[in-house]
Amino acid sequence: MSAEVLETIFGSETIRFSVVRRVRKTLSISVLPDQQVEVVAPEDASSERIIEKVRNRAPWICKQLRYYDQFQPKTPERRYVGGETHLYLGRQYKLKVIPSIKNSVKMQRGQLIVLSTRPGQISQTREMVRGWMLQRAQIKFAERLDICRERFPDPESVIPNGVIIRELSSRWGSMTGRRNLVLNRSLIGASTEAIDYVITHELCHIDHPHHGSAFFDQLRRVMPDWEKRKSKLERQLA
């Protein structure tokens, strides 16, 4: 469903937020790392009721917005030229492009080395690096999923139907209604403990689709240090 945009005033600040309506009984409010405010509301909730709920949570929303503001501006967009650094599993690797008769990518001694038949063509370097990162994400996320499931009393009960890796603009992951685990491909830049936080967070949504107290009770039981991991993720990928 498409989102509508509403706003409310809190003191001298205007809180603008998107609303997604779904078949549900409760209303949830999230502040995302890119400083977007998102409300998921019942289909029959009036705009007035939604605005009132957001206004009641305004102190918390503003606090979260100020928290995420410290991580702005975000890391400059990658240009895929020799000498710049790229994140992989929480560490920075310097990009080195070398002429070659065959295309390949490898990591060696703190460097991300691109052997390229067209070393001067940035678009090819970009495609090779992104392709390599996606392959690594597919492998690493599957490994971490198996490890994260073991945190739960019954690991078999938290097996997603599938794992989907996508470009996500405003979140690190989600658990769909069809029980597919969706992960942001950019997560491959984060440390394994930060990746584990995202995966474990989403696995908790299998039993608890919303961010209510039962959800956080379960998350805290299976990952007591989740808040520390979440902060580390936001620092690494800001």
**pLDDT at residue 1 in the model:** 43
**pLDDT at residue 211 in the model:** 81
Q: How far apart are CA 95 and CA 9, in angstroms?
A: 46
Q: How far apart are CA 35 and CA 62, in angstroms?
A: 10
CA-atom Rg of the chain in angstroms: 20
Per-residue pLDDT reduced to its tens digit, 101-133: 999 999 988 899 999 999 999 999 999 999 999
Q: How far apart are CA 129 and CA 173, in angstroms?
A: 22
154 domain residue, yes or no? yes
Per-residue pLDDT reduced to its tens digit, 156-177: 999 999 999 998 877 899 998 8
Domain final position from 15, 48, 69: 69
**pLDDT at residue 186 in the model:** 92
Confidence of residue 2 (pLDDT cuts 50, 70, 90): very low
Per-residue pLDDT reduced to its tens digit, 36-69: 898 998 989 999 999 999 999 999 998 888 887 7
Per-residue pLDDT reduced to its tens digit, 169-226: 778 999 988 999 999 999 999 999 999 999 999 999 999 988 888 889 999 999 999 9
108 domain residue, yes or no? no
What is the average pLDDT value for the chain, to the nearest integer? Answer: 89
Range of 20's domain?
A: 4-69
Per-residue pLDDT reduced to its tens digit, 61-96: 988 888 877 655 455 678 889 899 999 999 999 999
Q: How far apart are CA 216 and CA 44, in angstroms?
A: 26
Domain final position from 52, 69, 86: 69
Strands (E), the chain: 4-10, 13-22, 28-31, 37-42, 85-88, 91-99, 104-108, 111-116, 162-166, 173-175, 180-184
The separation between CA 105 and the C-alpha centre of its own chain, rounded to angstroms, equals 25
Taking the alpha carbons at both ends of the chain, their separation in whole angstroms is 28
Domain final position from 45, 69, 93: 69
